[in-house]
Structure formats: structure tokens, C-alpha cells
């Protein structure tokens, strides 16, 4: 048995010169594949590795096993096919955690995939079918699921399937043919709170005797203040630890957004307003080291928590300008920067946006009352006297 290169493929031939195995790649797939004859003379295909030396060794081993009558157990994927799909899902989630993906990403991926598997009735790898997933997502959209959320489910499913293929558990991707739903417009247009609404919300929440998600009013008000004063997202606030703050730094107190919790995966130091630093100082002094300063399950229902306090403060959740969920506090932060004349570049950096277009076109909101003073600046100037007419009148 000898190996030679033939038409860009590595080929194994038997003693009579007949091809018995070939090593090749498919377009768009970085892994090598082996096509070989089993002990009955039937051509079969197996997925090898991305590294060519290892793939060549795998091809030679396959041929050895064929000659010894062991073949490759007919199907290299048989052992994976026998394992329940939920076990593969558990391994996939463990891989995400091992790669350092954020807690939110891991949690959302698990919940979405578990729901997909249950709704589609998938029990084994062989059950994965694009028709079932497409029909399920369409049914959910008909029941009120937004297009953006539907696409997030599809993305999670494709990521899971891609992992299965890359780890040699599935021969090929079956969900690649599915396309995301068309997003015509945001399902929920968010609005920014006015300065008066912000003050009303914080005062009412701080004075509230009600506990929501095991937190008193003062703690909830401080969480809202952090969101409104820094533009941090829910998961970023929930992950803040005492070590992230440098309140004694001169001349400006700063706090750190760790790469592990940032949406863009980048570490950054941001300034902290003096009033917010003063409000956080006693909380940080009592917080346990290396533990979140705002622990609890509130992060998973932050929108419901805020809506409860909005209703208590008499602030409408929805107006013609949009809704006020927890992420709307980030919109309020950016809008407040724009209202107070903060430069475009500074606003972009404080919001940690990749483009100023996102900062100005999506996150900054100015209503009619706020636009009116700007419009008045363009009022028609007083009529200029015609020097010629004045001169004529004087002469007459």
C-alpha cells in the first residue's frame, strides 16, 4: 500500500494500484475528509481533522482497520447519534463557558436551545431538521414573537449545529438553508425619560416601602441612578464589584468595565460623576470583596422591576414616543448628554458605541418641547431698513 498525490488529493492505493482511499476538502469546510472503501468494497466517507498530518494518519488508520476487518464500524458518527440531544447541548454550553463567554450569553443560549429542542421534538441528532425549526419560529412569530427575537433563536440553533459539525458529531450542517426573518422596524421603540421624570422616578422609588425582587426602594433607586448616570446595561450593572471602582482617584473617580462583562468584550475605564460616586461610597464600603454589589435575580426581570416603580411614580410606561423599559435608561443617559451639549465624540466614547451614527440616530431622543427652543433660534431676523428709501424719504 502506498500514498501519492493525485489531483490535489492524497491517495492511498493497494498493491495492485487501485485507489482505496482519498483525502480531500469540500469547499467552505476547513476540515479534511477521507473517502475510502470498506471491507465490502463500498465507498464511505469520514470527517477527519483540520490539520493535514493528523488527517493523513487518520486515513492510514482507516485503511489499516479495513484490512484487519475492523472497518470504521460502518458509521463514524454512530456513537454520537446514540447520545440524547440534551447531552450534546450540555457539552455545547460547557464549551461556551470555557471560552469565557458572558454569563448572559450562556444563559440566553441555554434557554433558547432548550425551548427549540422541546418545541421541535428533537431527541437525537438525526431529528434536527430545518423544516421543523422554520415552522416553529413562524408559529412563534404568529403568536407575537418579534422578528429580532426570532432571529436570535435561529442564531443560537445555527451556532449549536455548527459546533456539532466542528467537533465531528454531525456530518453536515442542515440549518444553513434557513434565513432570518425580515425586521421591518423595532418592535418596541424606546423613549428617553425627561429630567422631570427622572427626578420623580428616583424620589418615588427611594421612598417606596415595597420590596421588589428582595430589594428595598433605596437599592432600586441606586440601580436606576447608576444606569442613568453611566449608561451601563443590565448585565453590566449586575456584575459590578467593589474592585471595579476607584473612588479615591485624583482628579476624577473612575470605574472599570471588565472585558468579560462588556458587550464588545473590551475593557475600559470610564469617569464617574461626583454625586453618583458619593451615593455609591457607603454601598461599596459594606460590599463583600469580589462579590456583586447588586446581587439577586433582579437582572433577569429588570424591565418588570422598573415598570413597577414607574407605575408607583405615576410615569407612563408607554407614550407616543415609545416605551420605557430598563434599556431605555441607557437611551436616557445618551439623550441627556446630547441635551447638555456634550460633543459627539465624547458622547460616543461615554456610550461605548462603535459609531457616532448609533449614538445620535438610535440612542438620542429629543421631543417637540426640547426641539422648540432650537427652532426659535432660526426665527426670521428683523427687517432691514432700505437705505435708499430712507434717503428718499428724507429728501422729500
pLDDT tens-digit series, residues 55-94: 888 888 888 877 776 544 455 677 788 899 999 999 999 9
> 204: Cβ–Cβ under 8 A, 6 or more apart, which residues?
309, 312, 313, 314
Nearest to 299 by CA among 248, 355, 240: 240
pLDDT at residue 9, as a whole number? 56
User: To the nearest whole number, what is the mean pLDDT of the chain?
Assistant: 87
Nearest to 272 by CA among 233, 225, 338: 225
- Please write the tens of the pLDDT for every residue from 12-47: 888 888 888 999 998 888 888 899 887 777 788 888
Alpha carbon 164 to its chain's center: 21
Spatial separation of the C-alpha atoms in residues 351 and 373, rounded to whole Å: 26
> 173: Cβ–Cβ under 8 A, 6 or more apart, which residues?
158, 161, 162, 165
Handedness of CA 364, 369, 373, 378 (dihedral sign): positive
Strand, coil or helix: what is 25? Answer: strand
pLDDT reading at 190 higher than 80: yes
- 98 upstream amide cis, omega within 30 of 0: no
Strand, coil or helix: what is 79? Answer: helix
DSSP per-residue codes, 216-280: -HHHHHHHHHHHHHH---HHHHHT--GGGEETT-SS--EEEE-TTTSTTS--EEEE--HHHHHHH
- Please write the tens of the pLDDT for every residue from 298-344: 988 999 999 999 999 999 999 988 999 999 999 999 999 998 999 99
β-strand 268-271 against 318-319: which pairing, if any?
unpaired
Contact 212, 205 (CB under 8 A): no
Contact 170, 80 (CB under 8 A): yes
3-state SS string over 90-108? HHHHHHHHHCCCCHHHHHH
Place of cell 482507516: 62
Considering only the C-alpha atoms of the chain, give the largest distance between any 2 of them, rounded to a whole number of Å: 125
Amino acid at each position: 500500500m502506498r500514498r501519492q498525490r493525485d489531483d490535489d488529493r492524497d491517495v492511498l492505493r493497494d498493491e495492485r494500484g487501485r485507489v482505496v482511499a482519498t483525502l480531500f476538502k469540500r469547499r467552505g469546510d476547513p476540515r479534511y475528509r477521507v473517502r475510502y472503501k470498506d471491507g465490502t468494497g463500498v465507498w464511505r466517507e469520514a470527517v477527519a481533522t483540520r490539520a493535514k498530518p493528523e488527517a493523513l494518519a487518520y486515513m492510514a488508520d482507516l485503511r489499516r482497520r479495513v484490512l484487519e476487518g475492523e472497518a470504521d464500524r460502518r458509521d463514524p458518527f454512530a456513537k454520537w447519534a446514540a447520545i440524547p440531544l440534551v447531552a450534546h447541548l450540555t457539552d455545547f454550553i460547557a464549551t461556551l463557558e470555557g471560552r469565557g463567554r458572558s454569563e448572559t450569553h450562556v444563559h440566553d443560549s441555554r434557554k433558547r436551545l432548550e425551548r427549540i429542542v422541546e418545541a421541535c421534538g428533537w431527541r437525537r441528532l438525526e431529528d434536527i431538521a430545518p423544516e421543523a425549526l422554520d415552522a416553529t419560529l413562524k408559529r412563534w412569530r404568529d403568536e407575537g414573537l418579534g422578528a429580532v427575537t426570532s432571529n436570535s433563536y435561529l442564531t443560537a440553533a445555527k451556532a449549536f449545529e455548527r459546533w456539532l459539525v466542528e467537533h465531528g458529531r454531525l456530518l453536515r450542517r442542515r440549518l444553513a438553508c434557513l434565513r432570518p426573518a425580515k425586521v421591518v422596524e423595532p418592535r418596541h421603540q424606546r423613549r428617553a425619560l425627561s429630567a422631570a421624570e427622572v427626578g420623580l422616578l428616583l424620589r418615588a422609588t427611594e421612598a417606596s416601602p415595597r420590596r421588589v425582587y428582595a430589594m428595598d426602594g433605596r437599592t432600586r433607586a441606586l440601580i436606576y441612578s447608576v444606569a442613568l448616570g453611566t449608561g451601563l446595561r443590565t448585565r453590566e450593572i449586575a456584575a459590578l464589584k467593589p474592585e471595579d471602582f476607584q473612588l479615591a482617584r485624583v482628579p476624577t473617580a473612575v470605574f472599570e468595565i471588565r472585558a468579560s462583562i462588556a458587550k464588545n468584550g473590551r475593557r475600559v475605564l470610564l469617569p464617574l460623576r461626583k454625586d453618583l460616586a458619593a451615593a455609591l461610597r457607603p454601598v461599596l464600603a459594606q460590599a463583600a470583596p469580589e462579590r456583586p454589589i447588586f446581587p439577586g435575580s433582579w437582572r433577569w426581570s429588570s424591565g418588570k422591576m422598573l415598570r413597577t416603580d414607574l407605575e408607583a411614580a405615576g410615569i407612563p410606561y408607554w407614550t407616543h414616543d415609545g416605551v420605557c423599559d430598563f434599556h431605555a435608561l441607557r437611551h436616557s443617559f445618551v439623550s441627556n448628554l446630547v441635551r447638555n451639549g456634550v460633543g459627539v465624540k465624547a458622547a460616543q466614547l461615554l456610550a461605548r458605541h462603535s459609531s457616532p451614527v448609533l449614538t445620535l440616530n438610535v440612542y438620542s431622543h429629543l421631543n417637540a418641547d426640547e426641539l422648540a427652543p432650537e427652532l426659535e433660534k432660526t426665527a426670521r431676523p428683523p427687517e432691514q431698513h432700505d437705505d435708499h428709501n430712507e434717503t428718499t424719504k428724507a429728501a422729500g
